[in-house]
């Protein structure tokens, strides 16, 4: 549904809590590939990656009314995926295939940090993984970013106060949105 592809993540989340299956479907459209790719990166196994992501999406549908999400939808989905991946690894008993990574993870690199810092690291990883997606699949997220940024914020970042300049930012943002939308239509539908 075209209306739903225009909704920001927090709107979709709000609708999801009201049993809106179209909102759920749109969340799936946006995040399923990204999460599968991430789960594959962590487990090295395609089937296992599929299973993990399936669990995550079933969970958010079945528990939609009780979801308590404080941060962004993307970091929530990543954390839910992480929890399941860790469970999968724990179930395996033999963790030799992770030997490289935990022996590489040397204590001296590791500094006990607060959760805010980890959250930031996670956000950086999400951004990075989005950037690595095949181009067509990335457009979904470009749109999301553009939708989230208001032209006021952009103007602020560019340190523009002049009204005409603001209008120019607004206009180019509008053109960009239009372009992204048409690209998106080709991709999703």
Q: Which residues, numbered 132-151, are part of the site for another protein (CB under 8 A)?
A: 132-134, 136-137, 146-151
Report the residue number, 54 or 172, with the smaller CB distance to another protein: 54
- Quote the least distance from Cβ 162 to another protein, whole Å: 13
Residue 144 tokens, joined: 């999301």
Q: How many residues bind another protein (CB under 8 A)?
A: 91
Say how far apart CA 184 and CA 138 lie, in whole Å. Answer: 10
The end-to-end CA distance of the chain, in Å, is 9
Choices 69-77, 105-113, 179-187; region in contact with another protein by CB under 8 A? 105-113
CA atoms of 169 and 186, how far apart (whole Å): 26
- Contacts for 111-117: CB closer than 8 Å, 24+ residues apart: none
Question: Which long-range contacts does 92-101 make (Cβ < 8 Å, 24+ apart)?
Answer: 97/44
User: CA distances (Å), 156 to each of 97, 135, 153, 173, in order?
Assistant: 48, 29, 5, 14
* C-alpha span between 64 and 178 (Å, rounded): 32
CB of 155 to another protein, least distance (A): 10
Within 6-35, the residues that bind another protein by CB under 8 A are 6-8, 10-11, 14-15, 18-25, 28, 32-33
Taking CB under 8 A as the criterion, which residues in 41-70 touch another protein?
41-42, 44, 46, 49-51, 53-55, 57-59, 61-63, 68
162 lies in the binding site for another protein (CB under 8 A): no
The single residue among 71, 87, 175, 185 that binds another protein, judged by CB under 8 A, is: 87
Contact segment (CB under 8 A) with another protein among 69-77, 130-138, 179-187 equals 130-138
């Amino acid at each position: 549904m075209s209306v739903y592809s225009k909704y920001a993540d927090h709107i979709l989340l709000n609708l999801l809590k009201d049993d809106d299956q179209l909102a759920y479907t749109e969340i799936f459209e946006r995040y399923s590939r990204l999460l599968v790719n991430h789960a594959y990166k962590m487990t090295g196994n395609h089937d296992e990656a599929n299973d993990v992501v399936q669990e995550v999406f079933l969970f958010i549908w079945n528990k939609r009314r009780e979801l308590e999400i404080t941060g962004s939808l993307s970091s929530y989905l990543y954390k839910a995926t992480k929890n399941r991946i860790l469970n999968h690894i724990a179930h395996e008993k033999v963790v030799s295939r992770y030997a490289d990574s935990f022996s590489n993870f040397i204590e001296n690199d590791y500094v006990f940090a607060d959760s805010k810092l980890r959250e930031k690291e996670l956000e950086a990883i999400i951004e990075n993984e989005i950037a690595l997606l095949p181009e067509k699949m990335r457009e979904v997220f470009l749109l999301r970013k553009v939708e989230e940024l208001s032209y006021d914020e952009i103007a602020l970042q560019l340190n523009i106060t002049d009204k005409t300049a603001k209008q120019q930012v607004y206009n180019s943002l509008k053109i960009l949105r239009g372009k992204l939308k048409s690209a998106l239509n080709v991709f999703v539908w």
